[in-house]
Chains A and B, each alone.
Chain A
Amino acid sequence: MHRNLLVLPFVLLGLFGISSSAQAQKGTVAGTITSNEGGSVQPLPFVNVVLKGTTTGATTDLDGKFSFPAEPGTHTLQVSFVGYEPAERTITVVADQRTIADVEMKTQGIEMAEFEVVQVADREREGVLVMERKETTAMVQKIGAQELKKKGAGDVAEGVQKLVGLSTVGGRYVVVRGLTDRYNSAYLNGMPLPSPDPDMKVAPLDIFPTDIVESISVTKAFTPELYGDFSGGAVDIGTKRATGENILKVSLGGGLNTQSTFRDHRSYNGGGNDFWGRDDGTRSIPAGVLSQGVNLNGERLPFAVNFNPTSKNAAPDLNFGIYGGTTFKLGNEITLNVVGTGNYRNENRYRNGQLRIINTSNTPLVDYTMESWQFNTQTSALGSASLDLGKRHGVGVTSLWVNMSSDEHRINYGEHFDYQDNVYARRYTYRQNTMLTNQIFGRHAFGMQERLLVEWSGAMSTADAAEPDRRQLVYLYTPGDEESEYRFNAIDRLENHRWFSALQEEETTARAGVSYRLLQRETAEGFQPILVLRTGAQSKQKSRDFGYDIFAYSLQEVNAQNPNGVALNNPDQYLDNEAYQDRTLTIAKLTGPEAKHTIEQSVNAAYFTTEVDVVPQKVKLMAGARLEEGDQRIIYRKQSDSFYQARRVARIQSTDLLPFASVKYDINKKDIVRASFSKTISRPGFREMAPFEYTEFFAGTKNIGNPDLKNGENYNADLRFERFFGGGELIAVGAFGKVLDNTIEKVALATASGQLQSFRNTGRAEVYGVELEVVKNIGAIVGTDSTFWNDLSVGMNASLLHSQLTIVDDRTADANSAEVVLTNDVRPLQGASPYLINFDLSYSRDLCENVKGTFTVAYNVFGKRVFAAGANGLGDQYELPVNTLNVVARADIGKKWQANITCRNVLDARFQVEQETPAGTSLINDYRIGPSFSAGISYRIF
């Protein structure tokens, strides 16, 4: 009996097919739909079963079973499901009798290609995800591994861009409905995911290769089980899970970028393990340096002599991976599923462009040409095990390790208004970000009809971001100077330096939740919930330690000894041990009091929701609230502090009650309307509340945090209409509106020096928009049986968005602060595009016997969006629309081999940022990354 609880939603679905029990003259069609994967026959849920040329049909339940009444006679039974070859059976229906039609479906080549996960509720498949979406009360959008592959998404950041209303900044940071980092949150398997980037709340999503992903889901409307610190979207990355079959697959691929590969690639002498993205210690601060005091006075130069640039030919991109999984049957109804995957990829990339700072006369104050050569690696390992103890109990663990490295040789050269000469800055930056998370989770059902359900989880994570031994030398030159005639910029002592920074973050989270069906009704099909209560508690404890050391090279004496100039490409000759010993070169450790800080955050919450079937099978109401208590503090010193002074503490404590209500109305079996209302909060980012000054990049704007920040408050409303056609097809239209109060905004402050930005609770923003989403088979649209059209499917989503932020300068609240000098008090939110369009067209068919071809074109464009707010009479900076076109071709050869060719950025999009001034508009940032082509094969060993 209790099994009915689990399958209840699907039984309900099946009921759609049974319109009335008083149809005595009709017969019944029933059967089981299965799939055969490598000899293992599995029931296939959510499959569309219809009588050809009619609307009569049903959808299979979790056990692959279906049943529906039909007029007597001979019919053609059509069985279809995304990822499977459509099947047809001729059946004869006799009045008052039951006709059994069992069908075993064959996967399409595209599925075999993955050699992955063909199982009950396989969330990698689009069709399954669409069904889940139909059932859920919450507004969730998902994209599975299959669709990600099909659309050529190599990482999660590229993947989320396929969803309606989502885009990214810089291909890394997610923007949901025009709301940037602050308004979003990230989860891994439902547990909070730490960010290895100190400036960002949400982890850069490009660190997760799609190879470890089962599905990505984005919740755009708050429910009380989520942490309250979001308004845009909560991204949940579901990692691969064991599927019950034995599998082992290896893959290998290579690629090239038109403006990078086989071209000159500048670098420097790094470490021996750089290929693997792990510094071998070469970049560590040498032993004994830190104990030497401010002015290094050891006998020998402690640092390596390694400022010279090197040059080589850029090798092609490389990637390889392994994926395996198995299931152990440990007893009756007890199974242990294990899955593991490891992936590595690297790339060489070059880009060049312009970097300008202009004034209101549209005259550049800074006009640099930027050239950057990067070697990037990404390594990930995922291990997951789950133990199923019958239907009632299950526990599991997941461990994920991600390592990402970026090694950059960058030069900026050109004019700076403050120097008589031109500036040439060369910087070597090695960044290594590592994240490890260990999760444990379980699920237990109790009581009659399993009316009590307990779910719990816990995770411990660490995230490290290191920037060891960044090296920078800045030269001055006059245009036309020979390479040997440059001078070091010796005036600005900090410009010539070695920098070492490290950030360590630890996070522990726990959650326990209980769901209890207080009232239920027994029907012929099983128990239906009438009133469900859910409650639970969550806790997140997080700490971060950040610190840096900077060693400034004083080069005045080097300049003095080389009156005819220094060699631009051989600086090492002036910076060696000899120079150090004769004091031509002196080095000072200029690590200031602001160099180290600690941040602690504690969030504890309890939630309660109730779900009521107001009108059975028609109207479902869900309401609840979350009580969240937050306490975050930063322990720091300012740049202007002394070590004689005590550390400073800035602290924000808050208790928020976050209400929520949503309603789901099933108009009929296809059409659903949902509405949702909620209140959420925005906590200040860790760095935003830290009042020390830092610069984002060479010649970049300075930022200083504000310890007086408060939480922002967000009010959200959503309305959505969806029509589900079965087989993964749907059309959805949505509208939403948000009011963001006390928004925390980055503001420009009047300052004596250059540019200074800080953060204030000065804004009130309104965001509203509409969203459209279509997933359709073209054949169904055109209304044809033509094979060509039926092999063609289209996916499209678009959003129109209006956002308006109003900035109020509240200097009156604190007279002793600098004035906000933003040019426009009213503007769109930063990162919010007025429109977003994602479009993909996919064609899939048999090329010849045993070879299945799939061809996908995916296009994405975002409208002009605010890149940064303009200040001091300068207009806002706008990032111009970027048209991205990816083309993916895949071939599945037999059951073991799969090959793919992916072309990314076929249009060679230009990334441009423009700024208006009273004297005209200028491009202040302008570069291309070039198209990339990659090819790969994978082989399934068993």
Chain B
Amino acid sequence: MSINRTLAQPMLLGTLALVAALSMSSCKKKEGCTDPTATNYDPDAEKDCCCEFPTPDVEQTTTINGETYYVLSGTISSDRTLSSDRRHLISGGVFVANGSTLTIQAGARIYAADDATTPFLSIQRGGRINAVGTASSPIVFTTIRTITGGADRGAWGGIILNGYAPINICGSSDCTAEGEGGSGVYGGSNPNDNSGVMKYVRVEYAGKILGTDNELNGFSFNGVGSSTVLEHLQAYKGSDDGFEFFGGTVNLKWAVSTGNSDDSFDWTHGWRGKGQFWVVQQDAVTGDNGMECDNWETDYTVTPFSEPTISNFTLVGADDGSPNHGMRLRHGTKGKLWNGLVTGFAQGIRVGTECDAYVNDGSLFVKNSAIWNNTANFNNAGAIETNSAYGNTTAGPVLNGYIGTEAAGAVDPSGVDSWFSSVTFKGAVEASNDWTAGWTTSL
């Protein structure tokens, strides 16, 4: 026994030493920073030295065409103000955390970097934006390529508000969902949630495509609650939708969607807000639907239903023969719309057969509107086309671009809900009161 034991011990030690020796994959050690959280981390380095770490308290800057830009990236987790006397550059997703408010001064210009990241501004649930511009000093979000040249659609991901208001895609009363492109979680059970205020804000060249079915819009309102204030917003030349509502209860007044290559306004997942004075102007290059209105494509009957109330909209198609729609009402949406002007599309109003029941029972309608000069004014629109009491016509006014209204046959929406401004015309922009002047960009 003792002989064996004396033999065993060195052997065991020897083999363990062998294990250790073999565990070392290499003998030569490359010097570099081995801490992955450092800015100069070198994955190939084996001997640690000289790590540099980002200093969150110091604002990062970069110089483009001789101008200094203040870089925004990552999460903003305390109140912060973006001043109008600086140029701001967004690189990657910028998140405003729960409990924090991002204030943006009137006239501030915020640029999206052209650095292969997916820049966007995302207000997380519980966070707020306070971006109040004026007609003469709007707040403008655009791509840095308006400075460096070659600005085009799809340069960045736009503005995303995430709220605690209900959405309908889980089958639960407090459904939460993941936004497009990792832009944050949204949804909850508070229809009165407040994500802040945006007035006179323009978003240009947004709509980053992240893959089929996965695009960031100009403005994405994800489960945003009704205490949020949205007025005078323009989405200009985005490669996806101009404005998209994913559920929620938020209202939107005075909105312009110009030259967006997918849908100009899009709602889905149970949006139940209100809208007034909406303008769609498509351009000849692209453009899908003026309004694309869904409950949910995967399950048409989930609740709460998409069921907004909208008055005074002007949808002007490019009239270029592309297979688009003024209004595409489908996948189980409900909704009440008055005082619209729809012209210049392949199809004016098209209703999916899955929504026939709602057209029949009156929970989905378009009334007091002019649908004219479309290749086909109606497709499966049922009562919207045939019920004369709805007051829809296939003749309309002469428009100057999107400017122009028609008084005849219009109703005052303030009778429906006091949120609406009291007007009695069809369309969004009166020639005598061009509220889009000064702060919007036209094609």
Contacts and interface: CB of A to CB of B under 8 A. Distances in A.
Interface of A: 294-295, 359-361, 363, 365, 416-418, 420-421, 444, 446-448, 451-452, 454, 456, 458, 460, 478, 490-495, 506, 508-514, 516, 535, 537-539, 541, 545, 554, 556, 560, 586, 589-593, 598, 633, 635, 638-649, 693, 695, 698-699, 702, 704, 749-754, 756, 811, 815-819, 821, 872-874
B176 interface: yes
Given A647-B41, A874-B298, A420 B4 contact: no
A510 B20 CA distance: 8
A331 to B, nearest CB: 24
B41 A456 contact: no
Given A539-B19, A641-B117, A494 B170 contact: no
Interface string B35-60: 01111010100000000011000001
B36 A635 contact: yes
B117 A699 contact: no
B93 A818 contact: no
Nearest to A487: B322
- Give the interface size class of chain B: 35 or more
Interface in B173-208: 175-183, 185-187
Contacts of B3: 447-448
Which of the listed residues A493, A589, A642 has the most CB atoms from chain B within 10 Å of its own CB?
A642
Contact of B116 (A451, A458, A592): A592
Nearest to A361: B300
Nearest to B12: A514
Nearest to A602: B23
Nearest to A588: B116
Interface stretch (B211-219, B228-236, B388-396): B211-219
A466 to B, nearest CB: 18
A600 to B, nearest CB: 9
Given A452-B4, A492-B209, A593-B117, A359 B169 contact: no
Contact of A642 (B22, B37, B74, B288): B74
A818 B185 contact: yes
A565 to B, nearest CB: 13
B170 A458 contact: no
Contacts of A506: 25
B154 interface: yes
Contacts of B25: 460, 506, 508, 541
B278 interface: no
A702 B214 contact: yes
A416 B288 CA distance: 14
Contacts of B4: 446-448, 451-452, 516
A651 to B, nearest CB: 10
B95 to A, nearest CB: 8
B28 to A, nearest CB: 15
Contact of A493 (B24, B43, B74, B154): B154
B431 interface: no
Given A752-B222, A821-B170, A873-B299, A452 B38 contact: no
Given A361-B300, A452-B11, A508-B25, A643 B115 contact: yes
14 contacts: A295-B150, A458-B22, A508-B25, A510-B19, A639-B181, A640-B183, A642-B91, A644-B54, A704-B178, A750-B187, A752-B220, A754-B212, A754-B214, A815-B176
A644 B92 contact: yes
A926 B169 CA distance: 29
B172 interface: yes
Given A491-B239, A510-B19, 8 more contacts: A359-B299, A418-B213, A516-B4, A537-B16, A539-B22, A638-B93, A640-B181, A818-B178
A874 B125 CA distance: 29
B171 A873 contact: yes
B17 to A, nearest CB: 9
A644 B91 contact: yes
A571 B120 CA distance: 34
B170 to A, nearest CB: 4
Contacts of A417: 297
Interface string B234-257: 000001000000100000000000
A493 B16 contact: no
Contacts of B71: 642, 644
Contacts of B215: 492, 753
Contacts of A420: 288, 322-324
Nearest to A455: B15
B348 to A, nearest CB: 15
Contacts of B41: 635, 646-647
A492 B212 contact: yes
Nearest to B284: A560
Given A460-B25, A821-B170, A645 B176 contact: no
B421 interface: no
Nearest to B324: A420
Interface string B141-172: 00000000010101000000000000101111
Interface string B87-105: 0000111000010000000
Given A510-B22, A643-B92, A752 B179 contact: yes
A750 B170 contact: yes
The 10 residue pairs across chains A and B that have the minimum distance between CB atoms:
A642-B92, A640-B93, A512-B15, A754-B213, A642-B73, A750-B177, A510-B22, A642-B91, A635-B36, A458-B22
A638 B187 CA distance: 22
B385 interface: no
B183 to A, nearest CB: 7
B261 interface: yes
B437 interface: no
B125 A359 contact: no
B8 interface: yes
B60 A644 contact: yes
A642 B117 contact: yes
B210 interface: yes
Given A644-B71, A754-B214, A819-B177, A446 B7 contact: yes
B231 to A, nearest CB: 24
Contact of A646 (B37, B167, B209): B37
Contacts of B167: 750
Given A649-B37, A816-B125, A591 B116 contact: yes
B417 interface: no
Contact of B185 (A458, A641, A702, A817): A817
Given A539-B23, A750-B170, A816-B125, A756 B178 contact: yes
Interface string B118-139: 1110100100000000000000
B114 A491 contact: no
A511 B19 contact: yes
A494 B115 contact: no
Contact of A359 (B20, B120, B214, B297): B297
Interface string B48-80: 000001100000100000000001011000000
A598 B18 CA distance: 28
A478 B323 CA distance: 10
A506 B114 CA distance: 35
A452 B11 CA distance: 10
B285 interface: yes
A444 B15 CA distance: 11
B7 A452 contact: yes
Which of the listed residues B18, B214, B322 has the most CB atoms from chain A within 10 Å of its own CB?
B214
Contact of A750 (B175, B180, B220, B354): B175
A338 to B, nearest CB: 24
Given A511-B19, A592-B117, A821-B170, A640 B182 contact: yes
B178 A645 contact: no
Contact of B285 (A452, A537, A560): A560
Contacts of A753: 179-181, 213-215
B118 A640 contact: yes
Which of the listed residues B19, B39, B43, B286 has the most CB atoms from chain A within 10 Å of its own CB?
B19
B19 A873 contact: no
Contacts of A516: 4, 8
A470 to B, nearest CB: 14
Contact of A508 (B23, B43, B154): B23
